[in-house]
Structure 1
C-alpha cells in the first residue's frame, strides 16, 4: 500500500524546511500564550501548560482518531503510550541542551533551568495515574478500565480549571505577528503539520541518498519527529530564560498524555497492555519520579542522563533485539 503524505516531498531539504517551519510554529504559539494570558487575565504558566500542549499534540490526536476509526487499536494506544515515554527520556536532554546553548550565547543567566517547587506538583500528580494502568488488564478488568478512563478525563479537566486561574495582567497587550489570534492559531497548526511532514520525508530521503541503514534511520527519525514539534514551545521559553513557563509547557504535555488521552482510550475500551507498552510506561514512571526530586530542589532536567539511558535501553530491547528481560503482567 502506497504511503500517503499530506505535503509533497522536497527531498533532503525537507529536514531544514521542517525545522524552520516547526520553529516558526513555536514562536507563533508562544505569542498566543502571552496574548491569551493578557486577554483573559489568566496565569501565563497556566495558559502555557494547557493551551500550548493542546495545539502541539493535534497531530497525535489526528493519528489516534484515524487509527481508531480504522480499527487499528494497537496503533491508537501506541501513539498515546509513546508520549509519556518520549517526554521522560528524550525531551529532558533536549531541555538541558537548549538551556546550555542559550546560556553560551548570553540569553540565559543559568546553565540549568531553575523552577519553582509548584511545578513538581502536577508532575507528581500526573505520574501516579500511570501506575494503575499497568494492572488494569483489559482482558480481565475491561469495565474497571473504562471507569478509570472516565476518572482520568475528569482529573485532567480539574487540572485545567486549576491552572487557568485568574491572575491580574497589567502589562500592555502582547503583539501578534498575524494580528488575529484565530488566524495565528491556524497558521501555527499548518506550520507544525507541514514542518513535521517535511522533517519525516526529508530524513527518509536523506537516509536513502546517503545509503544509511533503515534501522539506524528509524532510531534517528523517532526522536526528531516527536521531540521537536511536541516541545518546541517549551524550548523557546527556556531559551529566553522563562523557565517556569517552559517547564509548564512540558509538564502540561505530560499531563495531557497521562490523563486525557489514555483516559479517552480506556473509556472507549481501546487499550492494550503488551510488554512493549508496559515497559515504556515503567521507564516513564521511574524517570519522572527522579525528576520530581530534582524539581523539588528548584532544578529541571538533572535526570536527563537517566532518561537518555532509558531510551537507549528501550531501543536496544525492541529494535536491536538485545537480551533484555521481558515483563509479563
Structure 2
C-alpha cells in the first residue's frame, strides 16, 4: 500500500500503533455490517461481502484514482492486479493462522474455517473473468476490450444485487460505538488509513534499526502488513467463529478486484499485461481453483501452503533473482 500522504513517523512503535488502529477500524466496520443488515433487513453475509470490501479497499481506490489522474498507468493497474495475487498467496494463510490462534485460545470450535458450499460459487465465478484477460489480451482490441470492461462492471453490480437480497433479521438493533452510521464509517476509514500507513512505516523503521535488508523487507514483510487492513474485517469474523461471514468478506474482496476494478481500468483504457502481472494473475487463478475444491468439502484455507509457495516463487522470480521469463 503506497503512502498517499506523509504521516509523522513514530518509529518502530508504528507497528504496534498501526495494528491497534487497524483492528479498531475492523471492529467499527464489523459493527456497521450487523447494523446495516438489521436496519435494511439484508443478509448479513451479503452485507459483509459487499460493504466491508468497499470500505477496506478505499486506500487502494485512492491510489488508483491519484495514479490515474497523474498519468501513472502502470501504478494504477498494479494497485489492482496485486490484490487477487495477495489474496491467494498471503490472505488465505492469514485466515488459517487467525483461525488456529483463536481455536488455541478457546474462541473457536474448529481449527480451520468451516463454510457452506455456496461460498464456492462466487469464488469460482470471480476467478473465471480473469481467464479471458490472460488468454485473449482484450486490451489489444480497443473498443472491444472496453466493452469487456463494462461487462465486468455489470457482473459485479448483479453480484451485489444478489448478495444484498432481503432477509428477515430477527436480532435486535446492532450497537454502534459512535451511534451514527455515517460518522462510524468515516471514522473507520480514517482509522484504517492511519493504521495502514503506520504499520508500513513502522516496519521500515524497525528494519533500518535492526540493519535488515531494505529490499527483502519491502517485498516480503511490507506486503504482509498491507494484508491486515484489507482483510481485517474477515479475520475478525473468523476469530469469532463466524466463518461464513468472514469468508464472505474475503470472497467479496476478490469479487471487487476481479470484476469492478479491472472492469473500470479496462473501460477507461488503462490496462496492460506485463509478464509480472501475468504471473501474478496465473498464480491467483491456480490457487483459487484449488480453494473452490476445498470449500466444496466444507473447508476454507487448505490452499495456504500452495499460496505461500506461489508467493515465494514470485518473490524469487521478480525481485531476488529476476530469472522469470
TM-score of the superposed pair, with normalisation by structure 1: 0.96
Name the residue aligned to 1:55.
55
Describe the SS at the equivalent of 1:299. coil
Name the residue aligned to 1:186.
186
Unpaired runs of at least 5, structure 2: none
Counterparts of 2:4 and 2:153 in 1: how far apart (Å)? 32
Q: Which stretch of the first structure deviates more once superposed, 3-12 or 313-322? A: 3-12
Tell me how far 1:208 sits from its aligned partner.
1.2
Q: Which stretch of the first structure deviates more once superposed, 14-23 or 209-218? A: 209-218
Counterparts of 2:240 and 2:304 in 1: how far apart (Å)? 20
Tell me how far 1:7 sits from its aligned partner.
2.0
Q: Which stretch of the first structure deviates more once superposed, 215-224 or 276-285? A: 215-224
Describe the SS at the equivalent of 1:265. helix
Tell me, yes or no, if the aligned pair for 1:28 and 1:185 is still in contact at 8 Å. Answer: yes
Name the residue aligned to 2:11.
11
Name the residue aligned to 1:242.
242
Tell me how far 1:4 sits from its aligned partner.
6.7
Q: Does 1:92 align with 2:92?
A: yes
Tell me, yes or no, if the aligned pair for 1:64 and 1:76 is still in contact at 8 Å. Answer: yes
Q: Does the C-alpha gap of structure 1 residues 145 and 177 become closer, same or farther in structure 2, counting only changes over 3 Å?
A: same
Name the residue aligned to 2:300.
300
Name the residue aligned to 2:174.
174
Describe the SS at the equivalent of 2:65. helix
Matches within 5 A, 1:134-145: 134-137=134-137, 140-145=140-145
Q: Does the C-alpha gap of structure 1 residues 169 and 259 become closer, same or farther in structure 2, counting only changes over 3 Å?
A: same
CA-to-partner distance for each residue in 1:118-140, whole Å, 9 max, x for gaps? 00000000000001111343663
Counterparts of 1:317 and 1:66 in 2: how far apart (Å)? 29
Tell me, yes or no, if the aligned pair for 1:136 and 1:145 is still in contact at 8 Å. Answer: no
Tell me how far 1:97 sits from its aligned partner.
0.3
Tell me, yes or no, if the aligned pair for 1:153 and 1:264 is still in contact at 8 Å. Answer: yes
Name the residue aligned to 1:27.
27
Counterparts of 2:138 and 2:114 in 1: how far apart (Å)? 41
Q: Does 1:282 align with 2:275?
A: no
Tell me, yes or no, if the aligned pair for 1:138 and 1:271 is still in contact at 8 Å. Answer: no
Describe the SS at the equivalent of 2:30. helix
Counterparts of 1:130 and 1:138 in 2: how far apart (Å)? 11
Tell me, yes or no, if the aligned pair for 1:46 and 1:164 is still in contact at 8 Å. Answer: yes
Counterparts of 2:110 and 2:71 in 1: how far apart (Å)? 48
Counterparts of 1:4 and 1:183 in 2: how far apart (Å)? 22
CA-to-partner distance for each residue in 1:128-172, whole Å, 9 max, x for gaps? 000111134366312221110000000000000000000001111
Name the residue aligned to 1:41.
41
Tell me, yes or no, if the aligned pair for 1:136 and 1:144 is still in contact at 8 Å. Answer: no
Counterparts of 1:92 and 1:193 in 2: how far apart (Å)? 22
TM-score of the superposed pair, with normalisation by structure 2: 0.97
Tell me, yes or no, if the aligned pair for 2:4 and 2:63 is still in contact at 8 Å. Answer: no
Unpaired runs of at least 5, structure 1: none
Tell me, yes or no, if the aligned pair for 1:287 and 1:306 is still in contact at 8 Å. Answer: yes
Describe the SS at the equivalent of 2:110. coil
Tell me, yes or no, if the aligned pair for 1:47 and 1:164 is still in contact at 8 Å. Answer: yes
Q: Does the C-alpha gap of structure 1 residues 139 and 263 become closer, same or farther in structure 2, counting only changes over 3 Å?
A: closer
Name the residue aligned to 1:105.
105
Q: Does 1:123 align with 2:123?
A: yes
Tell me, yes or no, if the aligned pair for 1:85 and 1:284 is still in contact at 8 Å. Answer: yes
Name the residue aligned to 2:199.
199
